[in-house]
Amino acid sequence: MDIVLATRNKKKVEEMSRILGGMDINILTLDDFPSCPEVEEDANTFEGNAVKKALAITKCTNKIAVADDSGLEVYALNGAPGVMSARYAGEGADDVANIGKLLSEMKDIPDEQRGARFVCCIALAYPNGKTETFFGFAEGRIGREPRGRMGFGYDPVFYPAGYEVTFAEMSPEEKDALSHRGNALEGFKKYMKAHYSEYKEI
Ligand code: ITT
């Protein structure tokens, strides 16, 4: 079975391909479909944006599409950056700029109030318009300076609950075992097992 990953974020493609690696599916990416349109992420929920991306890509490719919409919610900032995570420091902002803005917004927040979570919504869309969604969460806290070089996005400032190292200091496999994306994709895998007799985990 072919599945297209409906994301333009290369780091997400790496993580999703790795986590789904044991499944008997053929993973395609948007590089295989260069004419697919950019999808404007104008919904105000992770689910709304994930479903929108997956539907746009299944329509354009006529194949099952899997999209990820994700972000960081900081409790002391009332859930910001949330759905704005990718462009927190402005349209086209890079990870360094987004982390810089986050640390500056949080400079007066004491250690015991720096709780946050990553959220991931995975949306599966079929060419007939049917959709399914799967959520995953990772609880943790925000540090005071970036640490580590692995991962992407806010990983260098995110300490998962119970750990003294950031996601960016963990191996890919350690992050996958704890992450919001790993968690949401476990739900997706269970769905595939339940719905496809031809699906096998290798
Ligand atoms: P696509 O929409 O093409 O999938 P994107 O990067 O624009 O790519 P989102 O709109 O879902 O994706 O934004 C997600 C942002 O949230 C991402 O750019 C990071 O800043 C942050 N984020 C999500 N998952 C993360 C993770 O595992 N580690 C660190 N930061 C993450």
CB < 8 Å & 24+ apart, contacts of 186-192: 186/136, 187/122, 187/134, 187/135, 187/136, 188/20, 188/66, 188/122, 188/124, 188/134, 189/20, 189/23, 191/124, 191/132, 191/134, 192/23, 192/25
Distance 200 CA to ligand 1 centre (A): 29
Q: Domain holding 69: CATH number?
A: 3.90.950.10
Give the total number of structural domains in the chain.
1
pLDDT > 70: what percent of the chain? 97
Give residue 3 CA to ligand 1 midpoint distance, Å: 20
Q: How does strand 26-29 pair with strand 131-142?
A: unpaired
Please report, as a single letter, which amino acid is at residue 156: P
Q: Which atom of ligand 1 is nearest to 12's Cα?
A: 4
pLDDT above 50 (res 166) = yes
Q: Containing domain of residue 109, as a range?
A: 2-200
For 118-139, how does the pLDDT look when each residue is reduced to its tens digit (9 = 90+)?
999 999 999 999 999 999 999 9
Atom of ligand 1 nearest to the CA of 68: 4
Identify the residue whose C-alpha is closest to ligand 1 atom 19.
Answer: 153
Mean pLDDT across the chain, nearest whole number? 95
pLDDT-wise least confident of 61-70, 85-94, 193-202: 193-202
Residue of 84, 154, 166 to test ligand 1 pocket, by largest number of atoms within 8 Å of CB: 154
Residues with CB under 6 A from ligand 1: 7-9, 12, 41, 68-72, 85-86, 98, 118, 151-155, 167, 179, 181
Question: What is the Å distance from ligand 1's center to 185 Cα?
Answer: 15
| Residue 40 confidence class, pLDDT cut points 50, 70, 90 | very high
What's the pTM?
0.96
